[in-house]
């Protein structure tokens, strides 16, 4: 199947958001915690918070529903003093009818290329039950740090984040 990988333009945002929604349904968490406007702003503002790549097929390969944008990934910068720079891969999604045709491999390789240009490794977390995606990453050479380094992945958000922030000393 012919396709090309490229960063999205603002006109592509409707397709990116459509696939964000499809992915959230796939992960059985349909209530997105961000709004369409927030995501658009983070992607297309003057200093974007996120990087994005999409896979686009020619019109003759469009999906049954007529879409030509069939996959996307979102990633952002991360840093760790052990390993230095990394890109943190958030979303990674290939539409079901376009799977098994090399799109996922090309998308991940392009993230690796972009990462290498910026001297970055790739980091990501995945839900325990999502074995197809974990197997895909491992097949592509990813190291499962939960196995090799017994790492935990933690988050401060909501009340816990509010409480912590309220306890911060005044900056002088
Ligand atoms: C996993 C996924 C990304 C693979 O994309 P794809 O386009 O179907 O994969 P490709 O056709 O590019 O296959 C790439 C390679 O990975 C391998 N592969 C694909 N799925 C695999 C799996 N489940 N287990 C092991 N290897 C797998 C292929 O055999 C292929 O190997 P090769 O490079 O040696 O030929 C895709 O199925 C997907 O989007 N799944 C749902 C995503 C999801 O759950 N996201 C939630 C987290 S954000």
- For residue 158, count CB atoms less than 10 angstroms from its CB and return exposed for 0-12, middle for 13-18, buried for 19 or more: exposed
pLDDT given at position 32: 82
List alpha helices for 119-157, DSSP H: 131-139, 145-148
- Spacing, Cα 112 to ligand 1 middle (Å): 16
Pocket of ligand 1 contains residue 3 by CB under 6 Å = no
What confidence tens digit (pLDDT) does each residue in 38-93 have?
A: 999 999 999 999 999 999 999 999 999 999 999 999 999 999 998 899 999 999 99
Pocket of ligand 1 contains residue 141 by CB under 6 Å = no
- pTM here is 0.92
What confidence tens digit (pLDDT) does each residue in 107-116 have?
A: 999 999 999 9
Q: Which domains does the chain show, CATH number per domain?
A: 4-166 (3.40.630.30)
What is the arithmetic mean of pLDDT over 9-32?
Answer: 91
**Contact indicator for 78, 63 with CB cutoff of 8 Å:** no
| Helix (H) / strand (E) containing 112 | helix 103-117
Q: Is the pLDDT of residue 172 over 70?
A: no
Q: Among 139, 144, 153, name the best residue to mutate to test ligand 1's pocket (greatest count of ligand atoms within 8 A of Cβ).
A: 139
Pocket of ligand 1 contains residue 143 by CB under 6 Å = no
Q: Is the pLDDT of residue 171 over 90?
A: no
């Amino acid at each position: 199947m012919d396709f090309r990988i490229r960063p999205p333009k603002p006109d592509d945002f409707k397709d990116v958001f459509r696939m964000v929604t499809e992915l959230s349904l796939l992960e059985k968490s349909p209530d997105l915690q961000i709004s369409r406007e927030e995501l658009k702003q983070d992607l297309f503002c003057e200093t974007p918070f996120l990087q994005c790549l999409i896979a686009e097929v020619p019109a003759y390969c469009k999906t049954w529903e007529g879409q030509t944008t069939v996959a996307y990934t979102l990633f952002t910068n991360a840093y760790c003093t052990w390993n230095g720079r990394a890109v943190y891969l958030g979303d990674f999604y290939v539409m079901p009818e376009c799977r098994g045709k090399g799109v996922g491999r090309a998308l991940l390789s392009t993230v690796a290329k972009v990462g290498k240009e910026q001297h970055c490794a790739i980091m990501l977390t995945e839900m325990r039950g999502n074995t197809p995606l974990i197997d895909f990453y491992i097949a592509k050479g990813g190291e499962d740090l939960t196995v090799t380094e017994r790492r935990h992945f933690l988050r401060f958000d909501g009340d816990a984040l509010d409480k912590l922030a309220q306890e911060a000393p005044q900056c002088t």
